[in-house]
Structure 1
Amino acid sequence: MGPQSARAQGGPSEGQPCHPLRRAPDVGSPSSCGAEATGAAVTSKAQQARKQAGSQPRTSEPGAQRSRFPRPQRGNPTQDPGEMEKPFEDNRTDPHSFVSVFESLIQAKMPFFDHLKDIFSHHRHSDDDTVKVNDKEKPIYYGTVTPYPNFNASDDTAILRRAIESKGVNEDVIIAVLVKRSNEQRQKIKAVYETENGKKLTDNLKAALRGNLENICLALLMTPAHYDAYQLMKATKGLGTDEEVLTEILATRTNQEIQEIKKAFKQEYEKELEEVIKSETSGNYTKILLELLSGGRDESARVDNDLVSKDTKTLLKLCEHGSGFNVSTFIDLMTKRSYPHLRKVLEAFGKQTDVKLPTVLKKELKGDTENCLIDLAKYAWNTPAVFAQKLVKALEKPGTCEKTLNRILVSRSEVDLKKIKEVYWNCQQRSLNDDIEKDTKEHYRKVLLSLCGAF
């Protein structure tokens, strides 16, 4: 998974929102939109106290106008108390360069990406996602779920048992415990629950809950590797393969995570994931997925400018008319190079030619291979923006797509869900929380909103 983008200082002034369709300002000119707010504000003691108590956020008084702008977000929960993370400056000298590469890609595949032209250019910030705290580099945390303070697995086990066995089942308590614990803490709760009760927590929840609430609670109790393995199994099972899910998972996980997914898949389904991919896909698309499954992508944050120049020349040669398109070379480039490196290559490509990369891919390739390579380019440039687009589609289509909501909110809640929410707001001019509240119901709605950090 490529490193996440950092945030720059500032933001639009009150009453002057940054419109998603507005072009980014010229280099050197004042930005009418400003830059994004840093996700580094430290939560106050009062906020922490309310969160630990499980209380809901206070609503504004009747008639009060709600702010249209995202609140400052917390930084790494492991940083020293009171230490503020410093926002990053945008190091790119030409904020328009990438639009020349991706303009046709954005328009050709998904109308939503019309709104992302500025996201893919002006709002693409430094690849460095670390901050100095007491002269030490620490990663910035962009998840919405953090480890629960003063965690005690035995206490949580007793609370869950009472909630499950109570008359009518206390869904609110179950939600409060599961969502306010990190995945690592949930695994400890599962183990203690089975030891102390002689029954599996998942089995008891299956008997107590129903529908979407049951599905997402069970998802929260899986390890990340087992949840991804489960999603891959569903994507390859039955009639029709869900190529979008296959590409999403394999393109956005680290090499170590991919190895853990393969191990979990073999453990749960007694099959090798590679063999399942071979049987359910074909052609160059199979080759791409197998390359991703090999876990051979360079994950260095450092970019070699000489190698960028070499790969840019290779890409230019591939796209020359009449020279023939070597798809194997392009697959190697997109599956082996780091995402920071690919961003530099695509930037340089856009500056040196008027040829549109998506136009070449559409001409030379078809179907799943074309879609996958375009998706890899989008993930390389801005992973949170792609997930935001998926959430918009899930909430705007007739009938909410709960499986997409579950998959993204569960899998990204301890990774980059804060960033995804910011991109969503920038493009929709309304919050992800508001759309979830409008399109979902009851306890299922509360789980989703809690994963988004609303409670």
Structure 2
Amino acid sequence: MNPYQGQPRYLHNIGFNNAAPQSFGNPMPMPGLPTMGYPAPQPGYPNTGSGYPQAGGYPNQGQQSKPTVVPVNPFDPREDAAVLRKAMKGFGTDEKAIIQVLTRRSNEQRLRIAFEFKTLYGKDLISDLKSETSGKFEDLIVALMTPLPQFYAKELHDATAGIGTDEDVLIEVMCTMSNHEIIVIKQAYTAIYGTLLEDDLRGDTSGNFKRLMTSLSMGNRSEDFHVDQGRAREDARSLLQAGELRLGTDESVFNAVLCSRSFPQLAAIFQEYQFLTGHDIDDAIKSEFSGDLEKALRAIVKVVRNKPLFFAERLHKSMKGLGTNDRQLIRIMVTRCEVDLGDIADMFQSKYGESLQSWIEGDCSGHYKKCLLGLLGLY
């Protein structure tokens, strides 16, 4: 079942706020349309696109993050609608024109183009695009045309619906989002599916991993960007006593600290842990935990230290070996292109000695490949 069917989802007034796009000089958003942006960065911290500064080892600390897609300015949504209409009218499809318009506009701008398209031609742009495309290229185009909160909501829903659970998706989304993003995604989730995200997460997970997902779904992490070094030392001691210094592990202490402290504060806690023990918090988590809970806690540690590296590793995993996890590849490319995909590409090159571009070119083909490269600013 298509959750968007029969509903003008691109007009749903649920969206991330517009602080980030405006910093790139785009015009004021149209009232009533969802927007792409994220909470504005705190003074003195880089804009990370998640509402949090990257702490402890972020390669561009003190600098702006590097999106690969920024709002075009000047922007004429009616002209873009006409270009797309021409690309799909008559025999054949001008895929190049479609790719160049959609990969060079922000998510908010694409939604405004869809609004103008329906105004001018009385047709739904997403339906027309779906009828003119197919396969993974179609999946990517539909993702680009979906408001980000609804896109995330659908990814989370599909990860928990049916038989089995895709815990990797839950970890990727829930462990990387800011409070604001989680709250907006929850609103979109309920609007589309009529249930609460928290309830569906709890119903599809178990044990301490369920508790972690529940805590993260509250969207209630501290956003005080002042680092209290004394408290960081206390929390590091608490983590040590809850893990390595006792028989068995008190998971609730790890849950409380990693789900409630601000990202800069967590960076300080991890540093204090290193001072106390002589080894890394990541090593302690590996020895004390297993399974999905271990993966989730380690993901939070990695996101605190270097979010672009976290996503670079996810992209690498999506393409390595036989076959491609296209859904994971599409999700990361679409959701990070306006935030920090440039940084992610840099980290990919640094870690693997090959460019993200070369991996996409080697793993994907046709218009799907060209559209992905377009999101990298390379088509």
Fold shared per TM-score above 0.5: yes
Structure 1, 160-169 or 256-265: larger mean CA deviation:
160-169
Q: What amino acid is aligned across from residue 373 of structure 1 in structure 2? A: L
Once residues 210 and 445 of structure 1 are traced to their aligned partners in structure 2, the CA distance between those partners, rounded to angstroms, is 13
Q: CA deviation at 1:149?
A: 1.8
Report the equivalent of 2:78: 154
Contact 2:59 2:306 survives alignment (8 Å): no
User: Which one-letter code corresponds to 2:206 in the other structure?
Assistant: S
Is the counterpart of residue 350 in structure 1 residue 274 in structure 2? yes
Corresponding residue number in structure 2 for 1:308: 232
Q: 1:301 to 1:440 in 2, by over 3 A?
A: same
Which residue, out of 398, 403, 409, partners 2:327?
403
Note if contact 1:224-1:411 (Cα within 8 Å) is conserved in structure 2.
yes
- For residues 261 and 62 of structure 2, what CA distance do their matches in structure 1 show? 17
- What's the CA shift for 1:78? 4.4
The answer on 1:374 being equivalent to 2:303 is: no
Aligned residue in 2 for 1:208: 132
Secondary structure of the equivalent of 1:385?
helix
Tell me the equivalent position of 1:191.
Answer: 115
Change (3 A) 1:274 1:172: same
Secondary structure of the 1:265 match is helix
Long gaps (5+) in structure 2: 1-22, 27-43, 45-54
Match 2:349 to one of 403, 422, 425: 425
Q: What is the rounded CA distance, in whole Å, between the counterparts of 1:443 and 1:260 in structure 2?
A: 32
Distance 1:189 1:309 in 2: 51
Q: How many Å apart are 1:321 and its aligned residue?
A: 2.9
CA contact (8 A) 1:77 1:141 kept: no
Paired residue for 2:246, among 322, 341, 348? Answer: 322
Cα deviation 1:25-44 (Å, max 9, x = unaligned): xxxxxxxxxxxxxxxxxxxx
Match of 2:369 among 445, 452, 455: 445
**Kept after mapping to 1: 8 A contact 2:270/2:280:** no
- Which of residues 281, 284, 287 in structure 1 aligns to 2:211? 287
Pairing of 1:210-229 with structure 2 (within 5 A): 210-229=134-153
Report SS of the residue matched to 2:328. Answer: helix
Mapped partners of 1:395, 1:297: distance in 2: 33
Q: CA deviation at 1:299?
A: 2.4
Is there any run of 5+ residues in structure 1 with no aligned partner, and where?
1-75, 80-87, 89-119, 130-139
Q: Is the 8 A contact 2:244 2:284 kept in 1?
A: no
Alpha-carbon distance change, 428 to 320 in structure 1, aligned in 2, over 3 angstroms: closer
Matched, 1:232 2:156: yes
- The answer on whether the counterparts of 1:394 and 1:404 sit within 8 Å (CA) in structure 2 is yes
Structure 1 or 2, whichever has the larger Rg, is 1
Q: 1:319 offset after TM fit, Å?
A: 2.8
TM-score (norm: length of structure 2): 0.82
Partner of 2:256: 332
Provide the residue aligned with 1:268 in structure 2. 192
Partner secondary structure for residue 187 of structure 2: helix
Distance 1:376 1:217, change over 3 A: same
User: What residue is the counterpart of 1:415 in the other structure?
Assistant: 339
> Is residue 142–residue 416 contact of structure 1 (8 Å, CA) maintained in 2?
yes
| Cα deviations by residue, 1:7-27 (Å, 9 ceiling, x for unpaired) | xxxxxxxxxxxxxxxxxxxxx
Distance 1:208 1:344 in 2: 52
User: Structure 1 residues 437 and 296 mapped into 2: Cα distance closer, same or farther (>3 Å)?
Assistant: same
Q: Structure 1 residue 434 and structure 2 residue 352: aligned?
A: no
Alpha carbons of structure 1 residues 213 and 258: separation in structure 2 relative to 1, 3 Å: same
Does structure 1 conserve the Cα–Cα contact (< 8 Å) formed by 2:273 and 2:280? no
Q: Distance in 1 between matches of 2:222 and 2:135?
A: 41
Is the contact between residue 127 and residue 340 of structure 1 (CA under 8 Å) also seen in structure 2? no
Judging changes above 3 Å, is the alpha-carbon distance between structure 1 residues 124 and 153 closer, same or farther for their aligned structure 2 residues? closer
Deviations 1:139-198 (A, max 9, x none): x24211011122111111111111112311111111111111111111111111122222
**Map of 2:310 onto structure 1:** 386
CA distance in 2, matches of 1:249, 1:363: 24
Distance in 2, matches of 1:215 and 1:163, equals 18
Written as runs of structure 1 = structure 2, the 5 A alignment for 1:232-251 is: 232-251=156-175
Identity %: 34
2:144 is matched by which residue type in structure 1?
L
**CA offsets 1:239-282 (integer angstroms, 9 cap, x no match):** 21111110111111111111110111111122211111111111
- Equivalence for 2:265: 341
1:167 equivalent among 71, 91, 97: 91
Deviations along 1:402-452, one digit per CA (max 9) or x if unpaired, are 111101000000111111011100112121111111221111111111101
- The structural deviation recorded for 1:300 is 3.1
Separation in structure 2 between the aligned mates of residue 248 and residue 193 of structure 1, nearest angstrom: 34
Size of the alignment, in residue pairs? Answer: 331
Per the TM alignment, residue 341 of structure 1 is displaced from its structure 2 partner at its CA by 1.3
Inter-partner Cα distance in structure 2 for 1:126 and 1:410: 22
Q: Per-residue CA shift, 1:368-427, capped at 9, x if unaligned?
A: 222221222222221111111111112222112211110100000011111101110011
